[in-house]
Amino acid sequence: MATLVFLEHHEGELLKPSLGVLSKAAELDDDVAGVVLGSGVREVAAKAGAFGASKVYVADKPELEHPLPQPRVDALASLLGSQSFDNVLFGATVLSADVAAGLSARLGAGLNWDLTDLVKQDGSLVGKRPALGDSVYVDVGWTSEPRLALIRSGTFEPRESGGEAEVEEFDVQFEDFSTAATMLEQAHAESEGPSIEDADVIVAGGRGLGSPENFKLVEELAQALGGAVAATRAVVDAGWYPYATQVGQTGKTVSPKLYVACGISGAIQHKVGMQSSGVIVAINKDPNAPIFEFCDLGVVGDLHEIVPKLTELVRARKS
Ligand SMILES: Cc1cc2nc3c(=O)[nH]c(=O)nc-3n(C[C@H](O)[C@H](O)[C@H](O)COP(=O)(O)OP(=O)(O)OC[C@H]3O[C@@H](n4cnc5c(N)ncnc54)[C@H](O)[C@@H]3O)c2cc1C
């Protein structure tokens, strides 16, 4: 079995979702390579060796400078034309999802998406993914090769194994239609503190907060703990907090060491995005809230009383 992992990068660093997938691939397969696409990316490509890639293919081209999907589809199609891989894996991000879908169409190869696990059975890969509103997990396979898979962001933790990768450049045949789009502007949302994908501690707020202003309770606790703020879909849909902070089936999957859920009922669609957190603490005034069925520590009470006291306590302990 030979596996290729699409490695995304930003400002000279390989991104965590890609590295998590690379580490998992190295656990399942002895023959794992990465592919890094961009402009001026040789140095970043070499970093993949430490996470299990024995080889990293690099296309270093001006056409690949901006994060546009179609030139990347050309690059991957060129590489797969000269090198044979059984599996091509992607850690889900907006760009990777576009590239994976484009490659699937280009090669006529099946893409399984939203996978939450990968296992090896009888020498080939089997994916696992949630189905029926995340109420069951199903095994999924492929009837074509290469097997393309898009893995939910945050599913696998990057693990450093300390190896070194051989870096090899390859050439790309760009299609006219692939380079027709140009990027006019790229903007980044300004935020303070760690992002919810990277944070060790997450304090999440739900509809139980009662109003958008009360998110400051959650923000203060997150700040005291050095963590990030997350939210449920109910509150982002209501415009109380940004969509980028939504955790769950249609939001992000997170796995911090500590997840503090404040005024969150624990609906299945929220649970699937945070159930792999190390310790889950729930504060909810309803003793029958579903979140009490899967949290590690539950506090039945009014969050407006409990959260400020908790923040005070954390601050006092820290000082
Ligand atoms: C297809 C689909 C996809 C979805 N995707 C997502 C997703 O990605 N993420 C997500 O989060 N949801 C998702 N949902 C929505 C999900 O089903 C729930 O509706 C949502 O998670 C509920 O959010 P909540 O817990 O903030 O609100 P509620 O369910 O209204 O819960 C509020 C909780 O706060 C408690 N409470 C109220 N006042 C207080 C107080 N003063 N002190 C303490 N506790 C208090 C209540 O007891 C209650 O348990 C999805 C739904 C569908 C159908």
pLDDT digits (tens, 9 = 90+) for 208-251: 999 999 999 999 999 999 999 999 999 999 999 998 899 998 88
Residue of minimum CA distance from atom 26 in ligand 1: 206
Q: What are phi and psi of 121, to 5 degrees?
A: -130, 125
Residue of minimum CA distance from atom 48 in ligand 1: 265
Question: What's the CA-to-centroid distance between 291 and ligand 1, angstroms?
Answer: 10
For the record, the structure tokens of 154 come out as 């945050």
For the record, the structure tokens of 246 come out as 């939504």
How far is the CA of 205 from the CAs of 25, 215, 291, in angstroms?
A: 34, 7, 13
The reported pLDDT for the residue numbered 197 is: 84
Average pLDDT, the chain: 94
The residues with which 33 forms a beta bridge, in sequence order, are 4, 55
Instruction: Give the number of residues written for the chain.
Output: 319
The reported pLDDT for the residue numbered 133 is: 63
Find, among 253, 28, 18, the residue nearest to 127 by Cα: 28
What span, in angstroms and rounded, lies between the C-alpha atoms of 1 and 98? 25
Inter-residue contact 128 to 149 (CB < 8 Å): no
The reported pLDDT for the residue numbered 191 is: 67
Ligand 1 atom nearest to CA at 207: 26
Average pLDDT (15-44) is 94
The reported pLDDT for the residue numbered 3 is: 97
CB 237 near ligand 1, within 6 Å: no
Find, among 159, 155, 157, the residue nearest to 275 by Cα: 155
CB 218 near ligand 1, within 6 Å: no
Q: Is the pLDDT of residue 306 over 90?
A: yes
Q: Is the pLDDT of residue 100 over 80?
A: yes
**The whole model's pTM is what?**
0.67
Handedness of CA 109, 84, 153, 275 (dihedral sign): positive
The reported pLDDT for the residue numbered 180 is: 93
The reported pLDDT for the residue numbered 135 is: 72
